[in-house]
Amino acid sequence: MPNLIDGRAIAEKVYVDLRREIAELKAQGITPGLAVVLVGDDPASRAYVRSKDKMCRELGLHSLKLELPASTTQTELLNRVEQLNADASIHGILVQSPPPVHIDEAAIVRALDPRKDVDGFHPENVAKLVLEDATGFVPCTPLGVQRLLIESSVNINGAHVVVLGRSMIVGKPLALLLMQKNAEGNATVTVVHSRSRDLVEITRSADIIIAAIGRAGFVKIDHVRQDAVVIDVGINRVDDAATERGYRLVGDVAFDEVSKKASAITPVPGGVGPMTIAMLMSNTVKAARQSL
């Protein structure tokens, strides 16, 4: 059996450090505050917002949950963002994705104060990631993947990392993060996507495979070289009549077969997911610290 990378246990370690830092900030009169804005009533988004709010409360952060109707206009939402930008008790702002179709999500992201953009999607923060400016905010899932690797003592330095997927929220920032010229980066990164030729040959040359494509069980045993490390970012619903909900969540990796060949692998759920929320808390605390 390979080494199972336990995202929940590693997230708990992150929270131990954060609790200490939050206590220090409170001693200086600052309670880090996170505002999460939800437009509409998508059940999955609602569940994400609830879990973020719950985690803020558990850590003793100031949490503001703004639930707006699906009919909210672009102008109304921009006004809300402006209010939050100006609110000194709020250090991080997150507008839950995806908003209703009549909302221009990119325009909302651009309206955020980049110093409060704890999702790391504002162009200024994207630029800071490219420039390796550590004052910027890196998107939470890539940051969580890097932390999982570090805490699991996986050697990133000089390793060949193959990232499957080139989205702006996972694949692209992850590639930039792991190729940074520092002790937590220095990887040789290859990014593959739906147009890549010879994908299997490329993934088979990876020391570390990170799958973020949103295709259930896509990465099979033949994609993986013996003793590679496999990180599964994917969250996919597959029908399962045996469960109460009628579905279960699986990753982008065919866990049962790939785990026979990998030296270490993340499960779904319980791998990358808990780290994403831990990094959101971490980015909020960083925003509060940088506001001093």
- The residue ranges that bind ligand NDP (CB under 6 A) are 141, 164-167, 169-171, 192-195, 212-215, 233-236, 272-273, 276
- Nearer to ligand NDP by Cβ, of 34 and 272: the residue is 272
Judge whether 83 counts as a catalytic residue. Answer: no
Question: Whole-number minimum distance, CB 29 to ligand NDP, in Å?
Answer: 33
Question: Whole-number minimum distance, CB 99 to ligand NDP, in Å?
Answer: 15
Cβ atoms of residues 285 and 247 within 8 Å: no
Question: Whole-number minimum distance, CB 159 to ligand NDP, in Å?
Answer: 21
Q: Which residue is nearest to ligand NDP (CB)?
A: 167
Judge whether 128 counts as a catalytic residue. Answer: no
3-state secondary structure the chain: CCEECCHHHHHHHHHHHHHHHHHHHHHCCCCCEEEEEEECCCHHHHHHHHHHHHHHHHHCCEEEEEEECCCCCHHHHHHHHHHHHHCCCCCEEEECCCCCCCCCHHHHHHHCCHHHECCCCCHHHHHHHHHCCCCCCCCHHHHHHHHHHHHCCCCCCCCEEEEECCCCCCHHHHHHHHCCCCCCCCCEEEEECCCCCCHHHHHHCCCEEEECCCCCCCECHHHCCCCCEEEECCCEEEECCCCCCCEEEECCECHHHHCCCCCEECCCCCCHHHHHHHHHHHHHHHHHHHCC
- Nearer to ligand NDP by Cβ, of 11 and 212: the residue is 212
- Nearer to ligand NDP by Cβ, of 119 and 207: the residue is 119
- Nearer to ligand NDP by Cβ, of 148 and 285: the residue is 148
Question: Whole-number minimum distance, CB 209 to ligand NDP, in Å?
Answer: 12
Judge whether 119 counts as a catalytic residue. Answer: yes
Q: How far apart are CA 202 and CA 198, in angstroms?
A: 6
Question: Which of 117, 119, 207, 252 is flagged as catalytic?
Answer: 119
Question: Whole-number minimum distance, CB 170 to ligand NDP, in Å?
Answer: 4
Question: Which of 52, 116, 128, 172 is flagged as catalytic?
Answer: 52
- Nearer to ligand NDP by Cβ, of 35 and 211: the residue is 211
Active site residues: 52, 96, 119
